Amino acid sequence: MGWLLLLLFLSLGAVLETLHGFKVGFYLDPAHRVRREMWTLAHAHGTLLALVQIAFACGVQRFAWRSPGRLRLASFLLLDAAVLLPGGFFLGGIGHAEGDPSYGVLLVPVGATLLLVAVALIVLEAWRSSRPTPEAGHPSASKESKR
Ligand code: HEM
């Protein structure tokens, strides 16, 4: 999913580049500056969150997850955020008013909240995994646990 999202949002960057190249009015005219801002944000956030997905996949086996359910939850929230956050920015640039994005932008705070929860979960698991276990950690700890 990370590589797929990266392909999608890099392609959006190429589309924006093309709109610049052909000086397309509905993207570059001052009346549509909200659309340009929203779509640039969609491209940037989508690309970076795709890289976060890939980083998550690379690091997932380094943590001793408390349960498969927690791992699934973190993955699910991270994936939803990678779709809702840039998707909200993109929709916000469609049918926008002069100075305001359209209602699609309301998906952004939802995605941001899911992202924060996912990262907090991952931080907790990383912190837990970095603590020495009685068996692998301090020798006195294992003696105490045998007593
Ligand atoms: C890891 C890869 C990339 C990252 C992290 C990234 C990130 C960003 C960010 C943060 C901006 C906003 C810059 C600003 O407003 O000051 C931006 C703008 C832009 N990016 Fe990318 N980008 C990436 C790859 C690409 C690629 C491959 C293309 C095109 C093929 C592209 C095309 C654009 C364009 C055209 C803009 C300007 C949009 C505008 O202001 O109208 N980007 N990108």
What pLDDT was estimated at residue 147? 44
C-alpha to C-alpha distance for 56 and 1, rounded to whole angstroms: 11
pLDDT tens per residue, range 32-87: 999 999 999 999 999 999 999 999 999 888 877 888 899 999 999 999 999 999 99
Within-domain flag for 7: yes
Domain count, the chain: 1
pTM of the model: 0.88
Ligand 1: atom nearest CA of 40 is: 38
What pLDDT was estimated at residue 83? 97
Q: Is the pLDDT of residue 140 over 50?
A: no
Query: Taking the CB of residue 126, how many other CB atoms lie within 10 A of it?
Result: 13
What pLDDT was estimated at residue 142? 45
Structure-token match 């956050």, residue found = 85
pLDDT tens per residue, range 107-134: 999 999 999 999 999 999 888 888 776 6
End-to-end CA distance of the chain: 48
- What backbone torsions phi and psi does residue 63 show, to the nearest 5 degrees? -100, 145
Residue 111 and residue 79 in contact, taking contact as beta carbons nearer than 8 Å: no
Q: Is the pLDDT of residue 139 over 80?
A: no
Within-domain flag for 81: yes
Within-domain flag for 139: no
C-alpha to C-alpha distance for 12 and 43, rounded to whole angstroms: 6
Q: Whose CA is nearest to atom 7 of ligand 1?
A: 44
Residue 82 and residue 53 in contact, taking contact as beta carbons nearer than 8 Å: yes
Within-domain flag for 48: yes
For range 85-94, the mean pLDDT: 97
* 122: enclosing H helix or E strand: helix 107-130
Within-domain flag for 143: no
Residue 75: which residues within 8 A CB-CB, separation 6 or more?
A: 56, 60
8 lines ligand 1 (CB under 6 A): no
Rg (CA), the chain: 21
- Range of 80's domain? 2-131
Within-domain flag for 146: no
Q: Which of 71-75, 135-139, 141-145 has the highest mean pLDDT?
A: 71-75
40 lines ligand 1 (CB under 6 A): yes
6 lines ligand 1 (CB under 6 A): no
